[in-house]
């Protein structure tokens, strides 16, 4: 039974990897060869595709925009939710329970772009980098709080009690005891939010009309509109877009698995 499940898992994984492999291989082909979009290896590896994409697709600026949005938004989420999740999980009073359930309601609630647009205009945050960061932080707070709340619930309360007996106040309890224990789930939340923000398309489409502030997703969309008949360049553009997220996921995979599995184990 175990072997059968492993075989099924491998097959499903290959199904999801085939589109990525098609994009990767065709990014090294010439224009005529890439029109077929097959899994065949290129007859001639055309590395110049990436140079053309970087120069004509304005990927350098959009890369730094995406990186800034993803890093700043993820860090803001991690800092706010780590502190809030630790306090709400440790002090489960009625008001804290209400706040917790009120905040995680956002997981099921859709984004009202009409209302959000009016709020952004009223606060003069529309078409600004700070506005993008605040939107991403607000959108991802519910699921991040849900993850870290469950993780904190599995940390023995005796650790806090021992620190308080030794003279630790509330601030030091959070900074010196709470944050070090939350490192696995903090990394998990950071990586998940980083990937979500990096890959997001709709938010910058609605709230950014300045091409200098576009992330890579919008740059790819614009590039595809210009070079829709040159699939080799489009595939090269897509490859460069997903590469940073893929590298981050591979490097932080053990932290993601550790953070998620730790939250599922009862002490």
- Whether residues 23 and 127 share a domain: the answer is no
Residue 103 has a CB neighbour count (10 Å cut-off) of 19
**Helix (H), strand (E) at residue 109:** none
- Whether residues 7 and 24 share a domain: the answer is yes
Q: Is 267 within a domain?
A: no
Q: Taking the model in full, what pTM does it have? A: 0.82
- Whether residues 142 and 169 share a domain: the answer is yes
- pLDDT value of position 267: 41
- Whether residues 95 and 34 share a domain: the answer is no
- pLDDT value of position 257: 60
Q: Packing angle between helix 253-262 and helix 129-153, nearest 10 degrees?
A: 50
Our count of domains for the chain comes to 2
Place of tokens 């939710």: 81
Q: Is 35 within a domain?
A: yes
**Which residues are CB-neighbours of 255 under 8 A, at least 6 positions away?**
184, 187, 188, 191
Mean local confidence (pLDDT), 179-204:
88
- Whether residues 115 and 244 share a domain: the answer is yes
- Whether residues 195 and 205 share a domain: the answer is yes
pLDDT digits (tens, 9 = 90+) for 8-63: 888 887 787 888 888 889 899 988 888 888 888 888 888 888 888 887 777 888 88
pLDDT digits (tens, 9 = 90+) for 62-103: 889 999 999 999 999 999 998 898 889 888 889 989 999 999
- pLDDT value of position 106: 87
**Helix (H), strand (E) at residue 160:** helix 157-165
Q: Is 32 within a domain?
A: yes
Q: pLDDT band for position 204 (50/70/90)? A: very high
Residue 241 is part of a domain; what is its CATH number? 1.10.3720.10
- Whether residues 195 and 252 share a domain: the answer is yes
The parent domain of residue 117 ranges over 47-262
Burial class (CB in 10 A: 0-12, 13-18, 19+), 258: middle
- Whether residues 29 and 143 share a domain: the answer is no
Q: Is 189 within a domain?
A: yes
Q: pLDDT band for position 260 (50/70/90)? A: low
- Whether residues 88 and 193 share a domain: the answer is yes
- What percentage of the chain has pLDDT greater than the value 70? 94
pLDDT digits (tens, 9 = 90+) for 150-181: 888 888 888 888 888 877 877 788 888 888 88
CA 61/CA 157 separation, integer angstroms: 47
- Whether residues 56 and 31 share a domain: the answer is no
- pLDDT value of position 265: 44
Residue 70 has a CB neighbour count (10 Å cut-off) of 26
- pLDDT value of position 92: 83
- Whether residues 39 and 58 share a domain: the answer is no
Tell how many helices (H) and how many strands (E) occur in the chain.
15, 0
- pLDDT value of position 222: 83
- Whether residues 16 and 112 share a domain: the answer is no
Q: pLDDT band for position 255 (50/70/90)? A: low
């Amino acid at each position: 039974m175990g072997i059968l499940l492993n075989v099924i898992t491998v097959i499903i994984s290959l199904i999801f990897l085939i589109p990525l492999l098609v994009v990767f291989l065709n990014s090294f082909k010439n224009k005529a060869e890439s029109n077929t979009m097959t899994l065949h290896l290129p007859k001639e590896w055309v590395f110049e595709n990436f140079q053309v994409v970087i120069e004509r697709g304005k990927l350098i600026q959009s890369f730094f925009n995406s990186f800034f949005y993803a890093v700043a938004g993820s860090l803001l989420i991690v800092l706010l939710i780590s502190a809030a999740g630790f306090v709400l999980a440790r002090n489960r009073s009625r008001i804290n329970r209400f706040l917790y359930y009120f905040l995680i309601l956002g997981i099921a609630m859709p984004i009202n772009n009409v209302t959000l647009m009016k709020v952004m205009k009223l606060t003069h945050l529309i078409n600004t980098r700070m506005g993008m960061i605040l939107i991403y932080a607000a959108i991802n707070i519910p699921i991040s709080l849900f993850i870290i709340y469950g993780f904190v619930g599995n940390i023995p309360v005796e650790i806090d009690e021992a620190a308080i007996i030794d003279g630790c106040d509330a601030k030091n309890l959070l900074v010196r005891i709470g944050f070090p224990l939350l490192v696995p789930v903090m990394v998990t939340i950071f990586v998940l939010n980083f990937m979500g923000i990096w890959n997001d398309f709709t938010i910058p489409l609605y709230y950014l009309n300045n091409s200098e502030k576009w992330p890579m997703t919008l740059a790819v969309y614009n590039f595809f509109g210009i070079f829709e008949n040159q699939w080799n360049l489009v595939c090269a553009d897509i490859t460069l877009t997903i590469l940073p997220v893929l590298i981050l996921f591979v490097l932080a995979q053990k932290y993601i698995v550790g953070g998620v599995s730790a939250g599922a184990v009862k002490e």
